[in-house]
Amino acid sequence: MCYTILLVDDDSILVSSISTYLSSHNFKVQSANDGDEALKKLSGKLDLIILDIVMPQINGYDLITLIQDDNKYKDIPFIFLTAKGMTKDRIMGYGLGCNGYLVKPFDPEELVAMIKNILNQYIKASSCQIVQKNNGELKVKQENVHDFTMTEIKVLKLVMRGLTNKEIADLLCCTTRNVEKYVSRLLSKTYTKNRTQLAQYGLRLALN
């Protein structure tokens, strides 16, 4: 299967180099040199986004927030590939839900390994979908669909353990507001009405 990756970085030489390397590993790469161009290229099938943080006009943080506002692309996994390697920068990245954080300079083999790992986990995590019978009973329907992100799976597991949104936020190094957003998405996707039903759903999938 050929996966499509959107690569966003204002360093055109680096973009060209990474695109060539990823293409040699059978990835289809679309590239953009800034946030505006990236937003214009959000079309069709897209499996992963790799983006820099420091870019003109729209930085990486704001760009991924804009992308997540689009229901079609809100659950696409993404990797920050950046020179900003401070702990606070990583916390900010993971707070936005990034699936990987790689600091420049980097080994391209490590990038490919990270991409493959994220895509493999993402597909496994999203291989089930909840459907509701006429009598209201929930059942699990196995399908190869992109339904759950890895972050949502992590949040679901912690909800099953009875943790509060604040406790989950502390463990995942993100804000309580972000956790509330993930819980809300999970409730919608699983057709459950509250955290108790959501935890019960998780037990049905044997996620713990």
Helices H, strands E: what count in the chain?
9, 7
- Give the predicted TM-score (pTM) of the model: 0.62
What tens digit of pLDDT does each residue of 61-116 get? Answer: 999 999 888 888 887 889 999 998 888 888 888 888 888 899 998 999 999 999 99
User: Which residues, in sequence order, are CB contacts of 202 under 8 Å at separation 6+?
Assistant: 156, 157, 159, 160, 208
Domains in the chain, CATH or no CATH each: 4-124 (3.40.50.2300), 128-204 (1.10.10.10)
* pLDDT score, position 131: 43
User: How many C-beta atoms lie closer than 10 Å to residue 138's C-beta?
Assistant: 15
